[in-house]
Amino acid sequence: MHRGFAMFGRPSRRELLARAANGFGAVALAALLADDGRATDTRVSGKPVRHHPAKAKSVIFLYMDGGPSQIDTFDYKPLLEKHDGKDPHKVFKVEPTQFNDVGKVMASPWKFKRHGDTGRWVSELFPHVAKCIDDLAIIRSVVSKFPEHTSANYFLHTGSGVQGRPSMGAWAGYGLGTDSKDLPGFIVLNGGLIPPGGLDNFNSGFLPAAYQGSVFRAGDPPVANVVPLETKSELQRGKLDLLRKLDAGARARFGGADEVESAIQNYETAFRMQAAVPELMDLKGESETTKKLYGLDAAFPQTQTFARQCLLARRLVERGVRFIELTCPVTSGDRWDQHQNLKEGHESNARAVDLPIAGLLTDLKARGLLKDTLVVWAGEFGRTPFAQGANGRDHNQYGFTVWLAGGGARAGADHGETDEWGYKVVKDRVEMHDLHATMLHLLGVDHKRLTFRFGGRDMRLTDVHGELVQNVLA
C-alpha cells in the first residue's frame, strides 16, 4: 500500500481518545483527518498550509443555484427602463444564449432604493439583506466561461467546467484541515435542490476522499449512515466491544500497521459522531429571538427551511467547520433559473433566502463571528437584460454580481461595473479564478502554492489563473 495522503495523519491513540471528550459531529467526516495530514501523492506534510495570516477561519458559501439576475437584485440599471420593450439587437450586440429565444429588452419589474450609509441600490427583492448593505463588499463584474448550468456549476465550484475536479471546499480542507474535532471540514447544507452536475459539485475530485463535501439534508436524519440500525444502543455497544477484542488480534496480525491502526480509530470517531450530529441539529438551545431573527417562524415554508440552514451554518462555524455551503430550497418555481415567469420565480426564491441571510449576517455580527467568517453569495452566472420569450431571462455569463461579507472582506466595497444595460462587464472584470484566489487568500492560503500533483501536473483550484481582487480586501 503506498504511503501518502490516504493515511490518517497518524495521531496517537491517546491523542484521539483525548479528542473524544470534546463532543461530536457528523458524517462522511472525512475532513476530520484533514487537520492532521495533507499532502501530495508523494509527500505528507504535517501542518496546515498557511502562507500568511488568515482573516477568515470559515467560509459560508450561499450558493444561489440557477443564476439570480444581477439587474433585478444588486446591479441597478435605470437605463433599462428607457429601452424597455425595444429589440435588443438594436441596442447592443446580443451573444448566443442557451435557449436562443431572444425577446425584448426588459426592465426590472422591481423597484430599487438606496440603503444604508453607503447608499447603495438594492431591489425590493431583498428588503432584509438591504438592511445589512453596509457590511457587504459587492462585485458587480463577475464573469463565467460557461452558459450552461452544469459546466458553470462545476466552474464555480471547482474552477473547471468538467466533472471530476475538487470543489473549493475540498481544496480548503486539503489546505487547512478543519478546526472541528468532530465534524467534517466541508459540509453542504442541502435545502432540497441538488444543482445540475449533481453531487460532483461538492466532490474531492482527485484529492483524497477525506476532503469531499458531506451533504446534510434538511430532513432527519441529515446524513446517511449516522443513525444506528440497532434498536437499543447497548446492542451496538456490544458489537463494538467484541470488535475491539477481535481487532486486537488483527492489530497483531498486521504488525501494528499505521493504516490498520487508523481504521480502528475511525470506529471510535464514527461512534461518537452518531451522537454529535443529532446534537448539532437540535435547535432547542437557541432562543426564540434568534429563531425569529433567521425566520424559523416565517409563513413561507421555504423561508423556514433556509432559516434552519443558516442557523445551522452559524452553529457549524461555532464548531470550527472550515467550509459550509448552503444550497437553495425548492420553491414554487425552479431554482433561480427563470427562463419564464421571472417575477413569480425570483420573488419566491428571494422570499426563501432574504430574511434568513439577513438573520445570519446579523447574528454572526452580534456574536463577533462575522469578522472570522467569510460569507459569499453567488450564482453560477447571471441573467440577460433582455427577455427570454415574453417574461423570462436567459443565462448570462458576461457580467453578474457576487457579494462577500465578513472574514476580511471590506465592508462597503464596490468593485467592477457592467455596461449600462447590466449585460457585460466593462470595468474590473472578475473571473471565477479571481474569486477563488481571493477566498483562499482570506483563509490565509496563496492559491498559487496550494497544489496537488495529478495527471502529470501540479493542479490548483485556480488552474494557471487567478488574481486577488484587492479592492474587496479589508
Partner 1 sequence: MSNARLLAAIAVAGCLALVRSPCRAEPADGPEFFEKKVRPVLVEHCFKCHADQEVKAPKGGLRLDSRAGLLRGGDNGPAVVPGEPDKSRLIEAIRYQNADLQMPPKGKLPDATIADLAAWVKSGAIWPDDGGSAATRAGTFDVAKRKREHWAWHPVRKYDPPPVKDSAWGSGAVDRFILAKLEAKGIKPARPAERRVWLRRVTFDLIGLPPAPAEVEAYLADTSPNAERTVVDRLLASPHFGERWGRHWLDLVRYAETRGHEFDAPIPNAFQYRDYVIRALNADVPYDRFVREHVAGDLLADPRRHPTERFDESILGTGFWFLNEEVHSPVDIRQDQADRFDNRIDVLTKAFLGLTVSCARCHDHKFDAIGTRDYYALFGFVESSGYRQVRFDSCDQNRDIAAALAELNRRSSAAVAAALSRVAKPATEQLADYLLAARDAIRTGPEFGPDGPTEGFRSRIADIARERKLEAGRLTGWIENVARAGRNPADPFHIWAKLASVDSKLVREILDKATAANSLPSGTEIVVDFARSEPNDWLPDDASFGPGPVRPGRLRCDSDGRVTFVDYAAAEYDRAWDLLTVPAGTENDPGAIGKRLRAGRTIRTPTFKVTAGKLHYFVRGGGMAYAAVDAHSFIQGPLHGQLVKEFPVAGGFRWVTQDLTPYKGHHVHVEFTPAKDADFAVAMVVQSESVPPAPSAAPLIATDKVKGLRDLAEAYEREVSERVSRLKDGPPATAEDARLANALLIQFSRATELEAATSDFMSDRERMVARVWAGSRLAPAIWDANGVDEHVFIRGSPKGLGELVPRRFLEALTGTAPIDAGRGSGRLELARQMTDPRKNPFIARVMVNRVWHHLFGRGLVASVDNFGVLGEPPTHPELLDFLADRFVREGWSVKTLVRDLVLSSTYRMATQGDTEAAKADPQNLLVHKSRLKRLEGEAIRDAMLAVSGRLDRAPFGAPVPIYLTPFLDGRGRPASGPLDGNGRRSVYLAVRRNFLSPMLLAFDTPIPFSTIGRRQVSNVPAQALILLNDPFVHQQAATWAKSVLAAPGTASERVDGMYRSAFGRAAKADELSACLEFLKDQAARYGTSADDAKPWADLAHTLFNTKEFIYLD
Min dist CB 169 to partner 1, Å, is 16
Applying CB under 8 A, which of residues 84, 116, 118, 236 lies at the interface with partner 1? 236
Min dist CB 191 to partner 1, Å, is 11
Distance CA 146, CA 154 (A): 10
Applying CB under 8 A, which of residues 84, 101, 179, 279 lies at the interface with partner 1? 101
Min dist CB 269 to partner 1, Å, is 4
Q: Which three cell numbers stand for residue 334?
A: 425552479
Residues 311-370 that bind partner 1 (CB under 8 A): none
| 45 phi, psi to nearest 5 deg | -110, 150
Determine how β-strand 136-143 pairs with β-strand 400-405: antiparallel
DSSP string, 264-285: HHHHHHHHHHHHHHHHHH--TT
Q: Which three cell numbers stand for residue 245?
A: 477484542
Residues 380-419 that bind partner 1 (CB under 8 A): 398, 416-417
Distance CA 408, CA 197 (A): 31
Distance CA 424, CA 401 (A): 11
Min dist CB 236 to partner 1, Å, is 7
Min dist CB 232 to partner 1, Å, is 7
Applying CB under 8 A, which of residues 227, 297, 366, 470 lies at the interface with partner 1? 227
The interface region with partner 1, picked from 123-131, 223-231, 278-286, 367-375 by CB under 8 A, is 223-231
Task: Give whichever of 211 and 403 is closer to partner 1, judged by the CB atom.
Answer: 211
The interface region with partner 1, picked from 65-73, 142-150, 171-179, 288-296 by CB under 8 A, is 142-150
46 scored as a contact of partner 1 (CB under 8 A): no
Min dist CB 426 to partner 1, Å, is 5
Distance CA 59, CA 43 (A): 27
13 scored as a contact of partner 1 (CB under 8 A): no
39 scored as a contact of partner 1 (CB under 8 A): no
Residues 17-36 that bind partner 1 (CB under 8 A): 27-30, 32-33
Q: How far from the centroid of its chain's Cα atoms is residue 452's Cα? A: 21
Applying CB under 8 A, which of residues 3, 13, 47, 50 lies at the interface with partner 1? 3
Applying CB under 8 A, which of residues 14, 21, 53, 93 lies at the interface with partner 1? 93
Distance CA 436, CA 142 (A): 12
The interface region with partner 1, picked from 48-56, 57-65, 218-226, 289-297 by CB under 8 A, is 218-226
95 scored as a contact of partner 1 (CB under 8 A): yes
| 294 phi, psi to nearest 5 deg | -80, -20
Q: What angle do CA 68, 69, 71 make, to 5 degrees?
A: 150
Distance CA 241, CA 62 (A): 42
Distance CA 293, CA 279 (A): 21
The interface region with partner 1, picked from 54-62, 264-272, 298-306, 315-323 by CB under 8 A, is 264-272
Distance CA 400, CA 74 (A): 9
Q: Which residue has the cell 495529478?
A: 454
Applying CB under 8 A, which of residues 129, 133, 226, 374 lies at the interface with partner 1? 226
Task: Give whichever of 29 and 440 is closer to partner 1, judged by the CB atom.
Answer: 29
Distance CA 249, CA 167 (A): 39
Task: Give whichever of 124 and 419 is closer to partner 1, judged by the CB atom.
Answer: 419
Min dist CB 371 to partner 1, Å, is 29
Task: Give whichever of 210 and 350 is closer to partner 1, judged by the CB atom.
Answer: 210
Q: How far from the centroid of its chain's Cα atoms is residue 25's Cα? A: 19
Burial of 117 (0-12, 13-18, 19+ CB in 10 A): exposed
Residues 195-214 that bind partner 1 (CB under 8 A): 195-200, 203, 205, 208-210, 214
By rule CB under 8 A, what string of x and - marks binding of each residue 51-80 to partner 1?
------------------------------
DSSP code for 374:
E
CA atoms within 13 A on the CB side of 470: 0
5 scored as a contact of partner 1 (CB under 8 A): yes
Residues 431-470 that bind partner 1 (CB under 8 A): 453, 455-458
264 scored as a contact of partner 1 (CB under 8 A): yes
Determine if the peptide bond prior to 221 is cis (ω within 30°).
Answer: yes
Which residue type occupies 440? L
194 scored as a contact of partner 1 (CB under 8 A): yes
